[in-house]
């Protein structure tokens, strides 16, 4: 089956970015999110997310032409429209039970043979598909995009023991030819490849900055200027990714890695992160992140 129409469920940092990249490539996209309580416009979440994709600062994630190819909707009124889609991408919050519940709903509406994939950062495919019907397991993969999808070339793909070979091949070809991705096929291990490594240096950078009294700027300068990491550094990266994602990623790795994995020894309670999330400082998508909260605060991570 050729991929012509795509649905993305979850219009957050990643879902909106993925929808934008696929629309930029010339495809029709349906973008769905929740209905906020008492909302007059029931698709306001997906609509607002799309508006952000057109912002020029620092560079737009989507062209104006692409914006016309995306329809915004919500999962209460529009799930029936999934039957017109060839590929359904789940990009909702990193919580196993929320994703599993959504797959049950998707399965009721998708057309036979359509592909379904999750953008999970860390949850193993085996757990996502636990208890799901065989039909879905045959069409299901993980397609892990990186942030921001328009500018990050890497795409990790994971298939399960029941995934059809043609499904994997089709997504690999599509990602390569239409999205310009460099595809890495990963085993179904917690965090796959990039996050398995990335979480180590994020944990290490935060704890070192706290223990040594470094400012976020100093810590990021060490990482980027001297160690050659991207210019955002670690704290800038967390602001971009979304600080509220960190506890989910950490919990998922802790639950899914073998008990002798060195990650367990590195874990530490980070009250600064919990406090920031509670106060809405979730990064660029919230009231600001490490860079903003530390301004006027001596710049220290504490
Ligand atoms: P986010 O918090 O920015 O967005 C999640 C969206 O899902 C929200 O708009 C929320 O309203 C919506 N949502 C929650 N439950 C829903 C449901 N049942 N149906 C429809 N929509 C629902 O999260 P983000 O950062 O976009 O992450 C999404 C997924 O992508 C997660 O699995 C995360 O681990 C993964 N990911 C995140 C990356 C990042 O840099 N933020 C990078 C790569 C993967």
Q: What ipTM is given for this predicted complex?
A: 0.99
120 CA distance to ligand 1 centroid (A)? 8
How confident is the model at residue 172, as a pLDDT? 97
How confident is the model at residue 298, as a pLDDT? 36
How confident is the model at residue 296, as a pLDDT? 39
Nearest CA to ligand 1 atom 31: 94
Q: Which residues of the chain have pLDDT under 50?
A: 294-298
- Strand extents, DSSP E, the chain: 5-9, 28-33, 70-74, 87-90, 115-118, 140-145, 154-159, 182-185
159 lines ligand 1 (CB under 6 A): no
283 lines ligand 1 (CB under 6 A): no
How many Cβ atoms sit within 10 Å of the Cβ of residue 38?
5
245 lines ligand 1 (CB under 6 A): yes
The contacts of residue 65 (CB under 8 Å, 6+ apart) are none
How confident is the model at residue 11, as a pLDDT? 98
Determine contact, residues 112/83, Cβ cutoff 8 Å.
no
Cα–Cα distance, 44 to 189 (Å, whole number): 36
Query: Which CATH number is associated with domain 5-185?
Result: 3.40.50.720
Query: Which CATH number is associated with domain 194-293?
Result: 1.10.1040.10
How confident is the model at residue 300, as a pLDDT? 64
φ/ψ (deg, to 5) at 105: -70, -45
242 lines ligand 1 (CB under 6 A): yes
182 CA distance to ligand 1 centroid (A)? 22
93 CA distance to ligand 1 centroid (A)? 4
The three-class DSSP label of residue 6 is strand
How confident is the model at residue 222, as a pLDDT? 86
* Residue whose token pair is 């091949």: 169
How confident is the model at residue 229, as a pLDDT? 81
Residues of the chain with CATH 3.40.50.720: 5-185
265 CA distance to ligand 1 centroid (A)? 28
**DSSP H/E element including 272:** helix 271-278
Ligand 1 atom nearest the C-alpha of 32 is: 20
102 lines ligand 1 (CB under 6 A): yes
Cα–Cα distance, 240 to 232 (Å, whole number): 9
The contacts of residue 39 (CB under 8 Å, 6+ apart) are none
Cα–Cα distance, 257 to 267 (Å, whole number): 13
Determine contact, residues 280/148, Cβ cutoff 8 Å.
no
Residues of the chain with CATH 1.10.1040.10: 194-293
Using the CB atoms, write b or e for 175-189: b if 16+ within 10 Å: beeebebebeebebe
Q: DSSP character for 17?
A: H
């Amino acid at each position: 089956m050729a991929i012509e129409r795509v649905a993305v469920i979850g219009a957050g940092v990643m879902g909106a970015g993925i929808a934008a990249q696929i629309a930029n490539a010339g495809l029709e996209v349906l973008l769905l999110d929740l209905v906020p309580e008492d909302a007059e416009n029931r698709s306001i979440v997906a609509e607002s997310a799309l508006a952000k994709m057109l912002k020029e600062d620092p560079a737009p994630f989507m062209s104006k032409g692409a914006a016309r190819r995306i329809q915004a909707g919500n999962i209460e009124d529009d799930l029936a429209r999934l039957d017109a889609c060839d590929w359904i991408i789940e990009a909702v919050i990193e919580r196993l039970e929320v994703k599993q519940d959504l797959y049950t709903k998707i399965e009721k509406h998708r057309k036979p043979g359509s592909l379904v994939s999750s953008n999970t950062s860390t949850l193993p495919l085996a757990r996502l598909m636990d208890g799901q019907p065989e039909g879905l397991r045959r069409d299901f993969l993980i397609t892990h995009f990186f942030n921001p999808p328009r500018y990050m070339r890497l795409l990790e793909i994971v298939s399960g023991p029941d995934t059809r070979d043609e499904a994997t091949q089709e997504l690999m070809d599509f990602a390569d030819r239409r999205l310009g991705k460099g595809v890495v096929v990963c085993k179904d291990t917690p965090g796959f490849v990039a996050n398995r490594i990335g979480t180590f240096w994020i944990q290490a950078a935060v704890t070192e900055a706290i223990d040594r009294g470094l400012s976020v700027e100093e810590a990021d300068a060490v990482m980027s200027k001297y160690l050659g990491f991207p210019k955002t550094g670690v704290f800038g990266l967390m602001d971009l990714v979304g600080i509220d994602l960190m506890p989910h990623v950490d919990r998922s790795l802790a639950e899914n890695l073998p008990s002798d994995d060195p990650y367990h020894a590195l874990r530490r309670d980070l009250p600064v992160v919990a406090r920031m999330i509670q106060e809405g400082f979730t990064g660029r998508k919230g009231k600001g992140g490490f860079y903003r909260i530390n301004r006027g605060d001596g710049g220290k991570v504490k």
